[in-house]
Amino acid sequence: MVSDLMTWQITLPIALAAAAIGYLLGSIPFGLILTKAAGLGDLRSIGSGNIGATNVLRTGNKKLAAATLLLDALKASAAAWIVGYFLGDEAALIAGFFAFIGHLFPVWIGFKGGKGVATYIGTLLGVAPIMVLAFAAVWLAVAFTTRYSSLSALVAMLVVPAALWILGAEKVAAVMAIMTVISYWKHKTNISRLISGTESKIGAKG
């Protein structure tokens, strides 16, 4: 498995092209665009200041939050699908990874982006779609038992790379594991609140 993991067939120019396409698509701040278009002001001045769907939900507009979640996921999927169609599976994986990076650090808004859960799922959809079901199953199980959305995502992001590795998809597992580590870093305040017991639960008011 280790030797397979270290053996990449992609050339540097193709890898760079895949990374650039993925990053530019991932950098589109849909949450910010949608809330501004709806006349809700600058999303970065609301709640946590995050540009993701969770913060869009704090505006009280559930439809916009759902649209943000969908678009943030699909921009990563689109990057993987488009690049994969023209440049192959390894390029698709690179494009999905950099779409995730683009969402976290978007060039258009000073490299201050989201936490990456939606684009993580979108990358999975693009390169290993069956694992989206595994992610959803883990998320729902943890959410049902704990009512913590953040914890549900964090646990799901641990399970997915492990499952991919067991199934023999070593390259995808390794890239998703890196994404998990990065997303954990972006969720450090949520992790601190989970440890202290102050994290908001699903359905909690205020």
Instruction: Write out the DSSP string of 168-181.
Output: T-HHHHHHHHHHHH
For the chain, the average pLDDT equals: 92
d(C-alpha 186, C-alpha 54), whole Å: 14
CB within 8 Å of 118: residues ≥ 6 apart: 52, 53, 68, 69, 72, 73, 76, 103
Closest CA to 118 of 65, 69, 190: 69
pLDDT of residue 43: 86
Q: Could you state, in order of their start, the residue ranges of all structural domains in the chain?
A: 2-196
pLDDT for 118-135, tens place per residue? 999 999 999 999 999 999
pLDDT of residue 3: 47
pTM for this structure? 0.92
pLDDT for 57-75, tens place per residue? 888 888 998 999 999 999 9
Length in residues, the chain: 206
pLDDT of residue 29: 94
d(C-alpha 157, C-alpha 178), whole Å: 10
